[in-house]
Amino acid sequence: MQLFRRLQSWGEKVAHGHQSKAEIIKSLASSYNENLDEVGEAIASERQNYLLQIELLNERIGQLQQQLQGDLIEPVYGDFGFDINGKIANEIARTLFSDLRLALSVKGFQVKPDGVVDVGYGYSRSVHPKAIVEAISKHSETLAKKLGLFKITSVRKLEITDCILVCYRMEPAIKADEIKLMVGTPDEFINYVTSHPIRYRLIADPGVGKTPTTAVMISEILKAGCTRGNTGKGEKVPHTLVTVSYPGAVGSLKDSNYPLEHFLKYGDTTAAIKSFDDCLDDGNFRVKNPTFAAKFFQIWAWDELDNTLNSCSEPYAAGENLKKILKQFGHNNIGWIVSGQSVMTKQIPGFTNDDRSLFTEIIIGIPKIRHYLNTYGKGKNSESNLAKLTRNLDAIEEYIDQKNGLVTDDARLLRVALVVDSRSPKLYFLPNLDRVSFNYQETEETKRLARLAKSSGTIGNELETGGLKPYTASNSQMVSLPPKTTIGGSHQSGTSPHCPHCGSANLKLQNDDRYRCLGCKKRTVSNKIIWK
Task: Collect all residues with Cβ–Cβ distance below 8 Å to 73 and sequence separation of at least 6.
Answer: 63, 66, 67, 103
Specify the pLDDT at position 49: 84
Cα 412–chain centre separation:
12
pLDDT at 65: 61
Closest by CA position to 246, among listed 223, 218, 225, 224:
218
pLDDT score at 379: 66
CB atoms within 10 A of CB 376: 19
Q: Is 490 left (phi over 0), alpha (psi -120 to 50) or beta?
A: beta
Count of other CB atoms within 10 angstroms of residue 368: 19
Calculated CA dihedral for residues 460, 463, 468, 470, nearest 10 degrees: 0
Q: Provide the β-strand partners of residue 339.
A: 202
Instruction: Show the low-confidence residues of the chain (pLDDT under 50).
Output: 253, 459-493
CB 182 within 8 A of CB 397: no
- Whether 152 and 167 have beta carbons less than 8 Å apart is answered as yes
Model confidence over 62-114: pLDDT tens digits?
Answer: 656 655 655 777 889 999 888 999 999 999 999 999 999 888 999 999 998 88
Distances (CA, A) of 335 to 197, 227, 484: 7, 10, 23
DSSP state of 483: P
Q: Is the pTM of this model over 0.85?
A: no
Dist. CA 393–CA 375, nearest whole Å: 16
Judge whether 519 and 512 are in contact, CB under 8 Å: no
**CB atoms closer than 10 angstroms to residue 224:** 15
pLDDT number for residue 430 = 94
Over residues 261-313, the pLDDT tens digits come to 889 999 888 888 999 999 999 999 999 999 999 999 999 999 989 888 988 88
